[in-house]
Structure 1
Amino acid sequence: MTAEYLDGNALAGPLGEIFAVDVTAATGRCANCGLTGPVASLHVYGPDPGLVARCPGCDEVVLRLVRGPGTAWLDLRGAVSLRLDVPE
């Protein structure tokens, strides 16, 4: 891919509108290559028509986030898991 991307920290604001915790600090695992790392390390493309986050190891799509008026669609099918640290 030749398009420029942002790192996964670009997801902090949009995901912060949906989740009560900082999802960029979560640890995810790519469903394609198995690479494990923070959401902040994903390569993020967008913002229009939505944000697409790709694995830095294999470039497969891990996460998609599209916003509409009063609605958000979050597709995590490219992630095997997402581990979040939550307050006790």
Structure 2
Amino acid sequence: MTTEHLDGNALAGPLGEIFAVDVTTCTGRCASCGLTTPVASLHVYGPEPGLVARCPGCDEVVLRLVRAPGAAWLDLRGTVCLRVNLPD
């Protein structure tokens, strides 16, 4: 595995295909260390075979996204919760 990573903004396009909101502006809590941080601040590795996002605090995996023609697999088991800001 390489030590170079992108920030969580690299997830904007791929997650934009799945969600109606910009998920990079959402706040998530790491299941491992409890750090609450915007998705945009995650450390993202990939793109092949998929995107892996790690907590900037403890480096544990919080999100995995694999895209194939006509399908996507999203694994959020490393995230306790995801706060989505919605308009009033």
Please indicate the TM-score interval, normalised by the length of the shorter structure.
Answer: over 0.9
Unaligned runs of 5+ in 2: none
Q: Does 1:45 align with 2:33?
A: no
Post-superposition shift, 1:69? Answer: 1.0
SS of equivalent to 2:33: coil
Deviations 1:10-39 (A, max 9, x none): 000000011000000000000000000100
CA deviations 1:40-85 (Å, max 9, x no partner) are 0000000000000000000000000000110000000000000001
Aligned counterpart, 2:29? 29
TM-score (structure 1 length as normaliser): 0.96
- Aligned residue for 2:15? 15
Identity %: 83
Distance 2:8 2:29 in 1: 14
Residue aligned with 1:11, SS? helix
Normalized against structure 2, the TM-score is what?
0.96
Distance 2:2 2:66 in 1: 22
Point out 4+ residue stretches in structure 1 off by more than 4 angstroms: none
CA RMSD of aligned residues (A): 1.1
Q: Which runs of 5+ in 1 are unaligned?
A: none
